Amino acid sequence: MVEYKSPHREYEFILREVLDIENELGKYPEYDEASWDMIQMISQQFGEIGEEYWLPSARDGDEVGVIFKDGKVTVPESMKEATRMVIDSGLTQLFGHQKYGGMEFPNVLSVYSDEISCATNMSLGIYMGLTKGAYHCIHNYGTEEIKDTYLPKFLSGEWFGTMCLTEAHCGTDLGLIRTSAKPNGDTYSINGQKIFISCGEHDMADNIVHLVLAKLPDAPKGVKGISLFLVPKYNVNSDGTLGERNGVNCVSIEEKMGVHGSATCVMSFENAKGYLIGEVNEGLAAMFSMMNTERIAVGLQGLGQAEIAYQNGLAYAKERIQGRDLKEPRNPNEEADPLIVHPDVRRMLMRSKALIDSGRMLACWTALAIDKSEKDPDEKIRKEANDLVELMTPIIKALLTDYGVEITSDMLQIYGGHGYIKEYGMEQFCRDVRIAPIWEGTNGIQALDLAGRKMPQSMGRLLRRFFHPALDFIEKHKEDEEMKEFVIPFSKALKGLQKTTLYMAQKGLSNPYEIGAAATDYLRQFGLVAMAYMWLLMLKVAFSKRDKSDYYENKIILARFFYERILPETLSRAIAIGSGSKTMMSLPDDGFDSISKFTGEA
């Protein structure tokens, strides 16, 4: 009963009308073929495959799931067919480099395709997303021989990739890993066990290429002693054909709350042949090139699940007849009015739509910066664009996944009791998306990354990449009569964020608890201000075209809702940050307990 239509009009508005990517990216020779007609054609193809193949397979992925037997994982046949449709259409080659058989299309289009994938079948999107991340990591840090061997196979869809970080005794604290790497000629013998390895084993590819964190015998302690290794499921012969099975095995898979179509594996490495990626003891930096790609992709999981939940919640609100309009009957000849007449239902729908629209804009705006950081001939522009991407990555990951959980929950609420049962498909969205705030670094870790690392980095250099263009926008449009309604409250919110940033910088110098206690509130405050800025960029276009279509007038109304009902949360977040860490850290550990004996005292 779940339905989905790809949001083509929304991306046309953002990419073509607001970001003007035809002119912004047309100056880069590598993107010569990325005309709007080509982007439109490819996006339409993605959308059709998503709607016709990926969406139906999502039900099988949830109800049948992956099956583990004798060390092998079997994926539902409908998911395999959905994957083949993408591979056969050549879409796996879209974002790869031409040298390895790719089409080298812009990252802004990757946002488009990733959202559709994550909306229609989040489990299946994980397989493809991890492979894309592995591709970029190997491209950035692998030797020419390794790149020539593995990258074309990723793009052809013959081989898939994974990342292997976590071990049973340590989660995010990677300095504690015990997986070892012993030199063996030109290769390394890898031994150890990794847990929570998404897509670590499956039957959708001829080979699975693992990127594994491990330590050499003489490695320094902690994260400074981590190296990164490429460990294939099947070793590869010198002519590129598959050789003997490597010492890599799936020991078990996890029984999970959601994304049942994605195998979460315990992987064992026993004298597995591995190849060094990057430099010795610098594996974490190499892995982060993949993790940053994955963090933005996980943010798009939150966005995609929010969008499909919203589409279905909206359809139900329009169709379901229940209760009467509080002023007068909307359908006087019927027994009741549709749910959408009720203010609280409209509140949930408008909040969801306002967050989805600005979240999508934020992701595309950041992806455009990725393209500039990679392709612009001016080193200064590349550096500044990369700074912006570094700053926005934890915000996109945490903000979009937190809101994904909130929006899917609200859309289920619109269904009432029908949303709680499997028949309508809404409860799957809630179960699937709940992992997104957890993996690739929990959202608490993302907040600490923003507040503890990105904020003070290079005396606030990264922050300037956001604050400066935002302040310039205010200066240019402060007298604009149409924009004033939004520019004035945005200016106040931006000043509030600047004050909070200064407060945290000062307090954090003397007490690191202040940063830890404020981090999550700070990320939300920063994220909301960033979304408000995205609305300003969209409003500039909407006001100029409001007479052409109701579409633009509706954007203005949604922006007004965001500014009236959502942006004010920045005030409460700032107040919470200002309360400091004293109370939070003063409760003794035993004070958290709720179970105790009766004292007998009266």
The residues annotated with a catalytic role in the active site are: 440
Alpha-carbon gap, residue 319 to 568, rounded angstroms: 32
Residue 228: helix, strand or coil by DSSP?
Answer: strand
Provide the greatest CA pair distance for the chain: 83
Alpha-carbon gap, residue 397 to 369, rounded angstroms: 16
Alpha-carbon gap, residue 198 to 471, rounded angstroms: 42
* Of 6, 15, 115, nearest in space to 52 by CA: 6
Alpha-carbon gap, residue 558 to 554, rounded angstroms: 6
Total residues belonging to the chain: 602
Half-sphere exposure of 452 (CA within 13 A, CB side): 16
Alpha-carbon gap, residue 203 to 70, rounded angstroms: 13
Alpha-carbon gap, residue 480 to 171, rounded angstroms: 51
Quick check: 187 and 246 in contact, CB under 8 A?
no
Going by C-beta distance under 8 Å and a sequence separation of 6 or more, which residues neighbour residue 70?
Answer: none
Quick check: 401 and 300 in contact, CB under 8 A?
no
Tokens of 167: 């071990």
Q: Could you say which DSSP state residue 219 is in?
A: P
Quick check: 255 and 115 in contact, CB under 8 A?
no
The vertex-128 CA angle with 49 and 275, nearest 5°, equals 155
Quick check: 146 and 228 in contact, CB under 8 A?
no
The residues with which 197 forms a beta bridge, in sequence order, are: 265
Tokens of 561: 């809702």
Half-sphere exposure of 513 (CA within 13 A, CB side): 9
The residues with which 189 forms a beta bridge, in sequence order, are: 182, 273
Alpha-carbon gap, residue 529 to 463, rounded angstroms: 13
